[in-house]
Amino acid sequence: MANLNDSKILELKKQIEEKKKSVGKSKKFSPVTNCSIELDGVRINIQTLTKEHIIALLIRLNSYAASAKELSLLEQYVISGYGINDWIDDLKSKLDFINRKDEEHKLKIMEAKLDKLLSEDKKVELELDEISKMLNT
């Protein structure tokens, strides 16, 4: 029974490794703006926003951008020294960064749970294989 579970666990670990590769290392968030936007007299640092706040701000800025475009003022519309599209791009980039970090975190948790489920015999076998590989390189 342990062998069957161990093989399932190892297969799931392979799937997690594949997902990790597809997520890739979280790229650094490199903003175009200074990340400090003022709207309605309130200064907001986009570096400190939660995912929910970023989404809400994105929707708000997108509606401003749509209005500015309709009024043929999009290129002239500047908020806190930057064009509205720069703010939208930075917020999208920050949201993408947070989503990748969240996915990496979930995968690490799943991997740790799977490691705990491996039988002692399988853990020893994997450790011996790893030591053997290290000696042969």
Query: What's the pLDDT score for residue 1?
Result: 47
Indicate if the pLDDT at residue 44 is higher than 70: yes
The C-alpha atoms of residue 23 and residue 20 are separated, in whole angstroms, by 5
**Which has the higher per-residue pLDDT, 137 or 15?**
15
Over range 71-77, report the average pLDDT.
Answer: 95
Nearest CA to 118 among 23, 25, 43, 12?
12
How far is residue 66 from each of residues 26, 91, 118, measured CA to CA in Å?
A: 31, 16, 54
Q: Which of 14-28, 47-61, 109-123 has the highest mean pLDDT?
A: 47-61
The pLDDT confidence band at residue 76, using thresholds 50, 70 and 90, is: very high
pTM: 0.75
Residue boundaries of the structural domains of the chain? 2-135
The C-alpha atoms of residue 45 and residue 118 are separated, in whole angstroms, by 44
